C-alpha cells in the first residue's frame, strides 16, 4: 500500500477542501437522476481520489491473490497526505463492508 502516492498537485491540499470536492461531486451526480453515474468526473480532486482508491484496490487484490489471509499491513498502513488518507479511508470502509457482508452470508 505504501507505494500508492498522490500526484504532486494534490500533496498540500487540506482535508476540508478534498471532502468539499467529493461532496459537490456526489450532490451533482445524485441530482442527475437520483443515483451516481459511471464515468470520468470533471473535478481533478475527485479523479485523483478515484485513482488512489483504484490503486489501493489493485494492491489489495494482489495481496489476496497471493495469500489466503488479509495481511495486517492493509489495516495498519498510514497514508502521508490528506488526499491519500481520505482515499484510503474510503477503500478500507469498502473492504470492511465487503468482509461484513461475506460474514453475514456465511451465517
Query: For residue range 9-58, what is the model confidence (pLDDT) as tens digits?
Result: 999 999 999 999 999 998 888 777 655 556 688 899 999 999 999 999 99
Q: How confident is the model at residue 62 (pLDDT cuts 50, 70, 90)?
A: confident
pLDDT at 67 over 70: yes
* 58-76: average pLDDT: 81
Which set of grid coordinates corresponds to residue 49? 481520489
DSSP state for residue 69 in the 8-state scheme? S
CB hemisphere CA count around 26 (13 angstroms)? 8
Instruction: Determine the pLDDT at residue 36.
Output: 56
Instruction: Determine the pLDDT at residue 106.
Output: 65
Percent of the chain whose pLDDT exceeds 90 = 50
Instruction: Determine the pLDDT at residue 69.
Output: 79
84 three-state secondary structure: helix
CA torsion 19-58-97-45 (nearest 10°) is 10
- Record the pTM: 0.84
Amino acid at each position: 500500500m505504501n507505494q500508492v502516492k498522490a500526484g504532486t498537485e494534490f500533496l498540500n491540499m487540506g482535508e476540508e477542501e478534498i471532502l468539499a470536492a467529493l461532496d459537490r461531486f456526489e450532490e451533482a451526480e445524485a441530482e442527475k437522476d437520483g443515483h451516481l453515474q459511471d464515468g470520468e468526473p470533471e473535478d481533478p480532486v475527485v479523479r485523483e481520489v478515484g485513482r488512489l482508491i483504484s490503486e489501493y484496490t489493485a494492491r489489495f487484490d494482489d495481496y489476496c491473490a497471493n495469500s489466503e489471509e488479509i495481511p495486517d499491513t492493509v489495516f495498519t498502513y498510514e497514508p502521508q497526505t490528506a488526499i491519500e488518507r481520505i482515499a484510503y479511508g474510503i477503500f478500507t470502509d469498502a473492504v470492511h463492508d465487503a468482509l461484513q457482508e461475506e460474514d453475514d452470508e456465511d451465517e
